[in-house]
Amino acid sequence: MEVTLKHFFSLLSLCIIIATSNLTGQSVWLNELNLSAMDIGWSTPKANASVDGNPLSIAGIKYANGVGTHATSRYLLQLDGKGDRFIASVGLDDEATIRGSVKFYLIGDKKILWESGVMKKNIPAEKVDISLSGVQLLGLLVTDGGDGNNYDHADWCDARLVMKEPVNPAQLVSRRGQPSDDYYILTPKQTDAPHINSPKVFGVRPGNPFLYTIAASGRKPVKFSVRNLPRGLRLDASTGIITGVLTKESVYTSTLVAENSAGKSERELRITVGKTIALTPPMGWNSWNCWADAVDDNKVRVSADALVSSGLIDHGWTYINIDDCWEIKPNATEEHLKGTQRDEKGMINTNKKFPDMKKLSDYIHGKGLKLGIYSSPGTLTCAGYTASYQYEEQDAVRYAEWGVDYLKYDWCSYGKIAPDKSLPELKKPYRVMRSALDKVRRDIVFSMCQYGMGNVWEWGEELGGNCWRTTDDIFDSWSSMAEIGFKQVGHEAYAGPGHWNDPDMLVVGRVGWGPELHPSRLKPDEQYTHISLWSLLAAPLLIGCDLTNIDDFTMSLLTNDEVIEVNQDPLGVQARRVSNSGGKQIWAKMLSDSTQAVGLFNAGEEGKTPIEYFHWDDTPTVKIRVQGSDLGINGKFSVRDLWRQKDLGVFNGSFESDVPYHGVVLLKIKPVQ
């Protein structure tokens, strides 16, 4: 009989469970609780596995039982004084690299009951066995060990609560500190009359193919026309797609017109033919946060279809970006990923999931959308597929042949090529690809992805990046989204038309890094915060969810034109943080019409002390007051609520609003003479 390791461990844990229950009353195992309420900085918490799904393992010792999580991780349990002891062995999982470091805390009713040292790779598990006597609320916290949360794979092994009396484990998980579950929709219903929503400015290089689609909401069919359309361009009056070529550096002002049986809308468009593209942050969809390596041609096509049929295209969403996993994968076992990496001329091949990239690109362009692709400056991409090292020029040519409009260029395996992480080494591969892209006659947005190394925001523009990731990967948790979003303080000095800070893609809707998807674990108010903050930050907006299965709440988040206009404002200023006190944050972004977009955020008192990682009392709606003087406004100003698209009145000196826990009120503030 074959006895696998798994069987052995299951048997072992069964024995432990039986033994402990007999000795000390009821043991409640952490891995048996509902872990969906555990907030985690990356991926999802795993029962009886590490956060990456491997057997739990600390300093070479394997554990059958426990929970794999990732800093920052917090979990609040309601013991009501029924707990006797908490027992566990904790540490950094062996799957982490030397960059990982974590610290564990047990906090009972606002008091630290126990804390570990800073746990790093190969440090043996620390054992904890503490009394829970009298504890009402128990917080399990893992922080990042003081050096950011890279590879912070933290394990609570053999973790259990020994209870004084029998309890229903389902009732132990506390709802306290959780924002509301109410999926309330604020975006008003669309009107029948048309409204033009595409950007007010558009940059193109002389001689390169021009593609701009007039985005207009309103009842279909809508008929389009353009006054003063520059010679060299043509408009399709039924789709609003403008194509052609402009050969000379110049600035044109055209008037876009959209009409239907219910009315008419006009908007000025400034076309700048010059060196700069991406004059407003790119908006679209990327395959990674939903499909990851499950992406294929069909999923990309149906996403493009859905961007159109759902009406998202009418609000300015434009790019359909294929992330990693379209290339040949060396050493793959899966038949459809095998093949010759490049042809005899060194031109890159696709794997069998993408039979004809040019056809796919034509399909996408035919809808007025644009196509994005992904590569790495190393020999392999992050997921281990063929990348561009020493083939940068061939790849740029190939992208141009295919009709690619956006390249995400992701550091990953280049880490093995660069001798060190000095600034010249960090810049080098991006400079090489920049110059390759400059040789092709196509406008390709250059998205530099290297997670913020070497303060990339300080030199991303000089290198010709159109945007650059400022952070590690985002996940659909409050810890991840809020830590990334609110940490963008100070980066505003480096953003502007054609060069944007990129705090990573959106995690609303059904996400999951494929093939299994789940609704975003961000609570509704957290999702309002996510979209409002990314709009204020003038961040690229790349939807990361399954577009073919999108609910009304998510649609309402992605189709509020007054919110999107904050992101797409032609001035291209990124919001600055005006104030931050007791978790109440105010951010303001100057807009081209001399008004300001202002976000009042109730972010909670995150992380000043371990105790403040939890909300021990009911989740508070707070009042946040913004002073006109903080915005450089003396005297009266008018206030408009952008999510509700409603004027709130004229105020003198200051304005105050209730803001829900982890939520936001997004305003447009205008001085009144």
Q: Give the residue numbers annotated as catalytic, written as ranges.
A: 410, 473
Nearer to ligand GLA, 326 or 637 (CB): 326
Q: Give dist(CA 412, CA 410) in Å, integer.
A: 6
Nearer to ligand GLA, 237 or 294 (CB): 294
Query: Should residue 52 be labelled a site residue for ligand GLA when binding is judged by CB under 6 A?
Result: no
- Beta strands 101-108; 137-143: pairing state: antiparallel
Piece of the chain touching ligand GLA by CB under 6 A; list 4-12, 377-385, 434-442, 579-587: 377-385
Pick from 425, 473, 612, 630: which binds ligand GLA (CB under 6 A)?
473
- Strands across the sheet containing 596-602: 576-581, 584-590, 596-602, 664-671, 636-641, 646-652
State in angstroms the smallest separation of the CB of 383 from ligand GLA: 4
Assess contact for 477 and 41: CB atoms under 8 A. Answer: yes
State in angstroms the smallest separation of the CB of 505 from ligand GLA: 7
Tokens standing for residue 143 = 């922080």
State in angstroms the smallest separation of the CB of 288 from ligand GLA: 5
Binding residues for ligand GLA, rule CB under 6 A, total: 9
Nearer to ligand GLA, 308 or 418 (CB): 418
State in angstroms the smallest separation of the CB of 152 from ligand GLA: 15
Pick from 95, 323, 327, 502: which binds ligand GLA (CB under 6 A)?
323
Which residues in 479-500 are b (16+ Cβ under 10 Å) and which e?
Answer: bbbbbbbbebeebbebbbbbbb
Query: Should residue 279 be labelled a site residue for ligand GLA when binding is judged by CB under 6 A?
Result: no
State in angstroms the smallest separation of the CB of 47 from ligand GLA: 25
The interface with ligand GLA within residues 391-410 (CB under 6 A) comprises: 410
Query: Should residue 449 be labelled a site residue for ligand GLA when binding is judged by CB under 6 A?
Result: yes
Cis preceding-peptide flag for 72 (omega within 30 of 0): yes
State in angstroms the smallest separation of the CB of 319 from ligand GLA: 14
Nearer to ligand GLA, 20 or 150 (CB): 150
Q: How many CB atoms lie within 10 A of CB 63?
A: 25
Q: Give dist(CA 489, CA 149) in Å, integer.
A: 18
Query: Should residue 324 be labelled a site residue for ligand GLA when binding is judged by CB under 6 A?
Result: yes
Tokens standing for residue 27 = 């043991």
Q: Which amino acid is at 61?
A: I
Assess contact for 240 and 222: CB atoms under 8 A. Answer: yes
Which residues in 74-92 are b (16+ Cβ under 10 Å) and which e?
Answer: bbbbbbeebbbbbbbbbbb
Q: Which amino acid is at 31?
A: N
DSSP per residue, 329-375: -TT--SGGG-S-SB-TT-PBPB-TT-S-HHHHHHHHHHTT-EEEEEE
Query: Should residue 382 be labelled a site residue for ligand GLA when binding is judged by CB under 6 A?
Result: yes
Nearer to ligand GLA, 320 or 382 (CB): 382
Query: Should residue 456 be labelled a site residue for ligand GLA when binding is judged by CB under 6 A?
Result: no
Q: How many CB atoms lie within 10 A of CB 627?
A: 14
Rg (CA), the chain: 26
- Beta strands 201-204; 263-273: pairing state: parallel
Nearer to ligand GLA, 287 or 532 (CB): 287
Question: SS3 string of 167-196?
Answer: CCHHHCECCCCCCCCCCCCCCCCCCCCCEE
Query: Should residue 639 be labelled a site residue for ligand GLA when binding is judged by CB under 6 A?
Result: no
State in angstroms the smallest separation of the CB of 330 from ligand GLA: 15
Nearer to ligand GLA, 507 or 624 (CB): 507
Query: Should residue 502 be labelled a site residue for ligand GLA when binding is judged by CB under 6 A?
Result: no
State in angstroms the smallest separation of the CB of 469 from ligand GLA: 7
Helix (H) or strand (E) holding 511: strand 510-511
State in angstroms the smallest separation of the CB of 589 from ligand GLA: 25
Q: Give dist(CA 534, CA 238) in Å, integer.
A: 32
Query: Should residue 383 be labelled a site residue for ligand GLA when binding is judged by CB under 6 A?
Result: yes
Pick from 288, 317, 475, 494: which binds ligand GLA (CB under 6 A)?
288
Piece of the chain touching ligand GLA by CB under 6 A; list 149-157, 381-389, 475-483, 627-635: 381-389
Q: How many residues does the chain have?
A: 673
The interface with ligand GLA within residues 407-436 (CB under 6 A) comprises: 410
Query: Should residue 87 be labelled a site residue for ligand GLA when binding is judged by CB under 6 A?
Result: no
Q: Which residues pair with 599 in a beta bridge?
A: 587, 666
Nearer to ligand GLA, 240 or 544 (CB): 544
Nearer to ligand GLA, 368 or 452 (CB): 452
State in angstroms the smallest separation of the CB of 148 from ligand GLA: 15
Nearer to ligand GLA, 86 or 468 (CB): 468
DSSP per residue, 310-323: TSGGGGT--EEE--
Nearer to ligand GLA, 403 or 540 (CB): 540
The gap from C-alpha 164 to its chain's centroid, in whole angstroms, comes to 43
Piece of the chain touching ligand GLA by CB under 6 A; list 378-386, 436-444, 476-484, 570-578: 378-386
Assess contact for 541 and 281: CB atoms under 8 A. Answer: yes
State in angstroms the smallest separation of the CB of 38 from ligand GLA: 22
Q: How many CB atoms lie within 10 A of CB 660?
A: 22
Piece of the chain touching ligand GLA by CB under 6 A; list 82-90, 113-121, 201-209, 376-384: 376-384
Piece of the chain touching ligand GLA by CB under 6 A; list 56-64, 116-124, 379-387, 487-495: 379-387
Piece of the chain touching ligand GLA by CB under 6 A; list 40-48, 254-262, 380-388, 550-558: 380-388
Query: Should residue 158 be labelled a site residue for ligand GLA when binding is judged by CB under 6 A?
Result: no
Assess contact for 93 and 50: CB atoms under 8 A. Answer: yes
DSSP per residue, 78-132: E-TT-EEEEEEEEEE-TTS-TT-EEEEEEEETTEEEEE---EETTPPPEEEEEE-
DSSP single-letter state for residue 621: P
Query: Should residue 118 be labelled a site residue for ligand GLA when binding is judged by CB under 6 A?
Result: no
Nearer to ligand GLA, 89 or 381 (CB): 381
The gap from C-alpha 541 to its chain's centroid, in whole angstroms, comes to 9
State in angstroms the smallest separation of the CB of 99 from ligand GLA: 14
DSSP single-letter state for residue 522: S
Q: In the complex, which residues of this chain contact ligand GLA (CB under 6 A)?
A: 288, 323-324, 381-383, 410, 449, 473
